[in-house]
Structure 1
Amino acid sequence: MTDYDTDAPLKAIRRLLLESNGLITIAFRRTYIERAIGNHMTDLTDRSPYDITDQWLTSPWSHIEPAMAFQLGLPILILRERGVIADGILEKGVLGLYMPEFDADMPTSQYFQSPEWRDLIWKWEGQARQVVETKGNPPKLY
């Protein structure tokens, strides 16, 4: 049996997130952009066209699920594969937290043994533990 609802995936994701204490998302490369221009021929005057040649898009779920977790106040850790365009929720500073970029061609053990990873996962784990503690408390009016 699965918790996933094929008729309404957003509803199923919300249900799973309500049962969770945090979210880790890995934004892998999914769609390759050989040659393209962003903001091409639009009426927006505040942005110039920009080159997005030889870059990658990730799954839309790498944007949707963290956004939903954010709305619930869950701790979020997002890892973005090198080459994936940093837009939407993947833009630096959108969530107000550090978002590491990793190289999938490198051995995973190399990154998982790094001080950067240890510091990130330690901080995220502490936040998730706080969610566990807080979920047991009655709601506060002020």
Structure 2
Amino acid sequence: MKTSVFLSYPKPFTKQQKQFVELLTQYLEKRGFEPRTLGVTDYDMDAPLKAIRRLMLESNGLLAIAFRRSYIKVGISKPKSDISEKENDISDTWLTSPYCQIEPAMAFQLGLPVLILRETGVLADGILEKGVLGTYMPEFSLNNSFDVYFQSSEFLH
């Protein structure tokens, strides 16, 4: 019997994102894992967060892929700040799906092991900041060869 793992990712909107998910899924399956994704391998008529919680309770960990989703061409974080923090230029930055924040936080609260893979350029904010979970957060680029990334020491360790 395979080990169930919750595989979380925003719906791919590029061929590269789709291929990355397919290759990661194959990698996990070859190693005895059963990647489960709500709306892909598992379906539920309940409210999304209830369905996510049910699936997590049936899983042994969570692997989230924080793909690029929304592009900020020109932007400022904390505009017109007049307290102690400065404005931050967040131009030429990507955001991911809010579920890439919600699902890892839910898994952490349930005591599940969590691994987040963040695509290069995605804003490192909230749970996507390095060190928030206390574990290493690999970053990947879809511009590089997937074979090279899946064989890299960063991915394998």
TM-score, normalising length: structure 1: 0.78
State the Cα deviation string for residues 90-112 of structure 1 (Å, max 9, x = none).
Answer: 01111001001111111111111
- 1:34 is aligned to 2:60: no
1:136 paired residue number: none
Distance 2:97 2:128 in 1: 11
Query: Using the alignment, how far apart are the partners of 2:103 and 2:128 within structure 1?
Result: 12
Q: Equivalents in 2 of 1:46, 1:15: separation in Å?
A: 42
SS in 2 for 1:95: coil
- Paired positions, count: 118
1:46 is displaced (CA, Å) by 2.8
**1:72 maps to 2:116:** no
Identity of aligned residues (%): 65
- Structure with greater helix share of residues: 1
d(CA) in 2 for partners of 1:26, 1:84 = 11
Structure with higher strand content: 2
When residues 12 and 47 of structure 1 are mapped into structure 2, their CA distance, relative to the original with a 3 A threshold, is: same
The RMSD of aligned alpha carbons is: 1.6
User: Which residue is equivalent to 2:135?
Assistant: 97
Question: In terms of Rg, which structure is larger?
Answer: 1
Structure 1: which amino acid aligns with 2:63?
Answer: I
SS in 2 for 1:32: strand
How much has 1:63 moved relative to structure 2? Answer: 0.6
Shift of 1:5: 3.3
Q: Runs of 4 or more off by more than 3 Å in structure 1?
A: 1-7
Match of 1:10 in 2: 49
Spell out, residue by residue over 1:13-35, the C-alpha distance to the aligned partner (whole angstroms, 9 max, x if none).
Answer: 00000000011000000000000
- Aligned partner of 1:109 in structure 2 is 147
CA change 1:36–1:6 in 2 (3 A) is: farther
TM-score, scaled relative to structure 2 = 0.71
| Separation of aligned partners in 2, 1:79 and 1:28 | 8
Shift of 1:7: 4.6
**8 A Cα contact 1:69 1:76, kept in partner:** yes
Cα distance in 2 between the residues matched to 1:74 and 1:90: 17
